[in-house]
Chain A
Amino acid sequence: MAENEKIKKVSIIISKGSLEGVYPGLIMANGARMEGIETMVFFTFFGLDAIVKKRMNKLKVATVGNPAMHIPTLIGALPGMSAFATSMMKKEMEKLDIPPVDEFIEMIHDAGAKLYACKATVEMFHLTKDDFTEEVDDIINVGTFYELSAGAQIIFT
Chain B
Amino acid sequence: MATETMNVTFDADGYLADHNEWNEDLARELAREEGIEELTDMHWKVINFMRKDYIENGAVPTIRRLKKAGGIPTKELYSLFPDGPAKKAARIAGLPKPKGCV
Contact = CB atoms under 8 A, between A and B. Distances in A.
Max chain B CB contacts within 10 Å: which of A33, A97, A107?
A97
Contacts of A31: 101-102
Interface of A: 27, 30-31, 33-36, 96-99, 103, 107, 110-112
Given A96-B100, A96-B102, A107 B74 contact: yes
Interface string B51-92: 000000000001111010000011100100011111100000
A148 to B, nearest CB: 20
Contacts, number: 44
A97 B102 contact: yes
Contacts of B65: 97
A34 B64 contact: no
Contact of A107 (B63, B82, B84, B100): B63
B78 A107 contact: no
Interface in B12-70: 62-65, 67
A30 B84 CA distance: 11
